[in-house]
Structure 1
C-alpha cells in the first residue's frame, strides 16, 4: 500500500495532480491525501506518514520548503517532489539539502509529471522489496540456527548440557540464543531439554532396574533431588511411583 500526500493551494492544479496520481496507483488500499497549506501538510504527514509527497512551494501558513524541513524530522525516508513556478536557484539548493528527489517547474506537462511520479512509485516498491528481503533473511538464518541446535541437543541431552554449551555450538551469545530458541520452538531451552531427559528417564524406568539416582545420572542430571522435582513436575508422580504403575499396568494387561 502507498500513501501519497499532495499539497497545492490552486484547486484546478490540485485536481489535475490528483487525477494522474489516482491513475498510477494500482492497489485498492492506496491512499491519496490532499491539503492546501504547509501547516496542514505537516499534520497530515505526522498522522498518515505518506510514502510520497508532492509539494508546492508557495502555499499559505507555512511555505513548502519549511513544511518539508519539519516533515523530514520524522519522515527522513519519504520521497518528495517539489512543484514551483519559480526557478530560483536558492530554492533548488534548499531542496537538495532537504533530500528532495524531484524539482519540477510549473506549468507541468501531464506526460512529464506522470513519468516522474511513476519513477518515484517504482523506487519505493524496490525499497520495500529490499526491506522485506532483509527481514526474511535473518528469519531464515534463525531457523537454520535453531535446527542445528536441536540436532545437537537431541544427540547430547543425556549428558550435562548447559545453555552456554549449546549457544557456543551455534556461535551465539547465551541471552540471544535463549530468546530466539523460545520464539521459534515455543518453550524455553531448559523446559525443552528437561522434557527430553524425563522422556528418557521414563524409558529407563520401564526397561531397567536402575535405581533413581542412577537414572538421574544417565539422563544428565547432576542432582538426584532436582531430577526428582522435575520428574514430579512433568509426570505428576515420583520416579518410583511411575515404575510401580508401569509394572502394575503390564501385569493387568497380561
Structure 2
C-alpha cells in the first residue's frame, strides 16, 4: 500500500480528493493532509510518504516552492501538481523542476485514476528493475555502498544529498536507497543524520560557534529542525549538551 500526502489550502478539495482516491480501490492510502507547502515540508521531514499530491497556488508556501525544497532533502520524492487551465505556465515550471505528473482542475475521476495508475505502474517497474539488479549483480551492492561511504567521507556534510551521492557513482537514487536499507539496515537519510549529529556534538564541545552556525556547517538550514533532530538522537538540546560538557570540562580542570 503506497502512502499519499495531500496538500491543498481548501479543506473541501482535500476531502473530495481523499474520498475519490479511496473509491478507486487502488493500492493507495492517504496518509496525511496539509493546507500549505510549509506544513507539508515539516511533516515530510519526520514521516515517510511515497507520493505528494499538491496544489500549486497556496498561501505561506506554494506548490512550486515545495517542489524545490523537497529536492534539497535527503530523499527521492514523487510529486503530482494540481493547477487550473490559466496557470499552465506554473505547471511548466513544475515539470522543469522534476515533478512526476500534473492534473488540471476540476479533476475528473477518470483522469485522477489514469494519473495514479500510471504512477503505480512506473513505481512497479522501478522496483522490479531494482530487484533484478540485486539478483544479477550479487557482488555489486557491497562495493557500491563502500564507494558511497567514501564519497560521504570526502564531502562536506552540508553538501550531501541522496541524489548527489547516487550521481557520484552513476546509479539511480532509488536503487541507492534500497542498497542502504539492505546492506546497512538503515536508511540513507538516517546514516547521514547520525554523521551530522556526531559532528555537531564535536563542534558544540570544542568551539564557540553559535547554534545557527553549527547547524549550517552540518547541513541544516532550519535551526529548529536541527535542534529537534539533535534532541531526538542525543536526548538533550544542543544548548543543554554544550552546557553539560562545559561544566564537565570545568570540573576536571578544578580537580587538577
TM norm structure 2: 0.49
Which has the higher Rg, Structure 1 or Structure 2?
Answer: 1
TM norm structure 1: 0.49
